[in-house]
Structure 1
Amino acid sequence: MTPHTFHHLPGLRRAVRDICEVHRLPPHDGARLLLSVSRTATAAFDAGGPVRLEAVEQSVSDGRNLLAVTLHTGLATASLGMAGLPLRGQATPDGTVAWHLPLGEGEDSPRPAAVPAQGSPREVDGAVAYEAEIAALDGDLSAALSRVDTLTTELHRLKDELAETNSGVLALYIQLEERDERLRRAHGQILRELEDALRPPPITVSGLEFAVHYAPADTDAPTGGDFYDWLLLPDGTVHITVVDALGHGVRSTRSALNVTHAVRTLALEGHPLESIVARTHDILAPFDPEIMATVLLARIDPGTGALRLANGSHPPALVVRADGTSEYLEVRGRGIGFPLPGSESVLEDTLHEGDLLVLYTDGLTESRRDPIEGEARLVKSAWAHARRPVDEIPGAVAKDMHTVILHPDDTLALAVRRAENPLGSP
């Protein structure tokens, strides 16, 4: 824009607005420029002199474009009253004031608009009438800009406070997560130690090999209702109890422990195997009316391999023969807490050298909600691992069975194998 001279404020204001529009200044920058130019020029108009306005784009070393708006007043700088202008300008002693505003990057270069050299006669005649309106508009605009400045400052302050708060909350969250993780680990360790203390120690019996695998439904609460017990009876036979108490967690653990302790006592007292399930119900039901548990009992003669089984609503035992055949050993019966509890009979069989007996809870075969399909997979898995070291078998079988888990549950797998005689002697 070439310099133009103005004698009255209305024409000057129109020229500034045109400059803002042509150079696409943001509204808040344009408003500040308009107020600052108007207030600076007012001193020159009050003194009876004209002002000269020019605008030119400039490029700076960092690649930015600036709009330089220069007002020539011809007055001493001190008399211009520049204090408190919405947009600070750079003044020279000869009364020239320049404002520099950043322009948006990537925009097409604007073409300067034609600006009248001075106000039209109509504008000159109405100059006085405009003064009151301009003063009112300037006041409103100043108030709005002041409010914008206040809100902007407040917004920056709130953003800083929010950033500090978020940082503090995040740090606290991380600390709480770390604390909770330590508590979970400690809790799990205590429960595992408690579980190990409650479960029976390994037994060593000539002619038989034993191993067991247990996994809880919830790894953070490693106790549950799946329990086992094994012991050598005074007559030299091995007694094994497998229990699955209803529910999960500590309450089911208590029920399972009560069942195994009652069964152990009855077995040591010499009660017949076929009566133990019913008698255990009779002992526990008065003290725990809500108890419900399935139970499988096994008696094995280490010398002859004679096997006897009693069942109370529990999944059947699986035997994998040394010759590669397999079968489920079914015994009908009802569990503890069920109507008419007890084993209907005792199944008798024989474990030959190399035969593998697998006792388990339903969490092993029902992880996919189809017990028939689970039993078929169990036969396949047990047969595949039957010749491995016995202490590896239960874990390997559980891993096969739980490649897909649709119904998480406590899982117990117990393996008993009759050892082969390396010398082939009877």
Structure 2
Amino acid sequence: MIPHSTTHHSLPGLRTTLRRLAHQLDLPVEQRARLALAVTQVAAGELGAGRSVTLHAAQEDDPKEDGGSVLTVRLRTPLAPRPPSLQDLPLPAERLPGTAAVWRLPHPQPPLPARNSTPDSTPDSGTPGTTELLEEELRAAVARADTLAEDHKRLKHELAETNSGVLALYVQLEERDEQLRRAHGQMLRELEDALRPSPVHVPGLEMAVHYEPAGTDAPTGGDLYDWFLLPDGRVHITLVDALGHGVTSTRSALNVTHAVRTLALEGHPLESIVARTDEILLPFDRELMATVLLARIDPAGGTFSLANGSHPPALLVREDGSAEFREVRGRGIGYPLPGSEQLVYDELAPGDLLVLYTDGLTESRRDPREGEQRLLEAARAHRHLPIEKIPGAIAADMHTVILHPDDTVALTVRRTREDSA
């Protein structure tokens, strides 16, 4: 094509030339409008300062497409003290050395005609005037806006329908999640019932227990208890705290309680059971570590004995409010030299309360001694409550502040008064 080159001293003349050129090349109306706005935006500073600009247009081969061509529009500002800005143009441009800006438009249809008219002359015969070209661009902009408005309306409607569907799905998922939670809760309650036997009902004693997991995401743990009647009429109580949390520690604690129950029912002496349990279980589980507290109580006379393997001491609270911890030296299962070094013997008088527990009750604030003192005070304060309320009331007092969450068992045994036996 014959190159087109004109020099301009005013923005109106530059705009007219650009629009007429774009119309003759049958460029899309929107592209024509963007080109006119972009070129005049770059040239505005120079023309406003009274300096001229040169517009050059030519058709060139497109190196990206075999047989294709591009329209190249160059704007030169030879008198500019500095290159004009090319930021935020309606039609992006690139900067070349010696040229203010260049625009490359793909596939112009007709070749450019030779130009003999001056830049600001009236259009050639048959070419629309500036007003007609502007009106055409305005109509295209309005049509584009109308199309966008319709698209926006349609998208809003689709979004509303999608939101409605998502909300319905969310409600369904919430209902399904609630069903799963209920089923999960029922399963866990059944599991806990299987793991945690009900209190032994025997004349002369009343018993209750409170269990609290370290977290709701792990409702079972390594703190377990077991209580049952021996053939001689005494009550045997086992309290176990296996190392760890969750199902693995539950399995370890179950193994310990089952082994202890078997040994106790076989008639093994209380002082030997901790060591014997270690001998039985360690060959099968070298990782097992557990503390154990064992108690034997005679319901008729109230006498009891304690064996201990590294477990927190039992608390004995007398009916008059005096209290003491009954310490027994020993080492737990999986510890070096496991076993209870001796037994401690004592007696429950009517109204006396025996509190057995795991360390989650007294170490929630990381200070066992401070925890034991608070436990002593809580047990004194609640010793006259109905037995089924005492363990939970003690745990509530102990867990007002929890800095170190852990599984917790609080188990209480109280000797009944003679007139209520």
Q: CA deviation at 1:167?
A: 2.2
Q: CA deviation at 1:320?
A: 0.6
- 1:368 equivalent in alignment to 2:365: yes
Superposition pairs for residues 27-426 of structure 1, below 5 Å? 132-219=129-216, 221-422=218-419
1:188 counterpart letter in structure 2: G
Q: CA deviation at 1:291?
A: 1.9
Q: CA deviation at 1:241?
A: 0.3
Q: CA deviation at 1:196?
A: 1.0
Q: TM-score, normalised by structure 2?
A: 0.66
1:327 counterpart letter in structure 2: E
CA offsets, 1:195-252, max 9 Å, x none? 2133334322222221112222334653322211112222332211011122333222
SS in 2 for 1:197: helix
Check the 8 A contact 2:122/2:129 in 1, yes or no: no
Unmatched tracts of structure 1, length 5 or more: 1-9, 11-124
Q: CA deviation at 1:170?
A: 2.3
Paired with 1:162 and 1:333, the residues of 2 have a C-alpha distance of 70
Change (3 A) 1:377 1:253: same
Check the 8 A contact 1:353/1:421 in 2, yes or no: yes
Paired with 2:263 and 2:420, the residues of 1 have a C-alpha distance of 38
Check the 8 A contact 2:350/2:417 in 1, yes or no: yes
Check the 8 A contact 1:212/1:412 in 2, yes or no: yes
Q: CA deviation at 1:357?
A: 0.3
1:238 counterpart letter in structure 2: V
Check the 8 A contact 1:295/1:314 in 2, yes or no: yes
Paired with 2:239 and 2:222, the residues of 1 have a C-alpha distance of 10
2:151 counterpart letter in structure 1: E
Identity of aligned residues (%): 72
Q: TM-score, normalised by structure 1?
A: 0.65
Change (3 A) 1:253 1:423: closer
Aligned residues: 302
Superposition CA RMSD, Å: 2.6
Q: CA deviation at 1:163?
A: 2.1
Unmatched tracts of structure 2, length 5 or more: 1-11, 13-119
SS in 2 for 1:337: coil
Paired with 1:177 and 1:339, the residues of 2 have a C-alpha distance of 52
SS in 2 for 1:231: strand
Q: CA deviation at 1:423?
A: 9.4
Q: CA deviation at 1:401?
A: 1.8
Check the 8 A contact 1:191/1:221 in 2, yes or no: no
Check the 8 A contact 1:226/1:412 in 2, yes or no: yes
Query: Which residue does 1:110 correspond to in 2?
Result: none
Q: CA deviation at 1:177?
A: 1.9
2:138 counterpart letter in structure 1: L
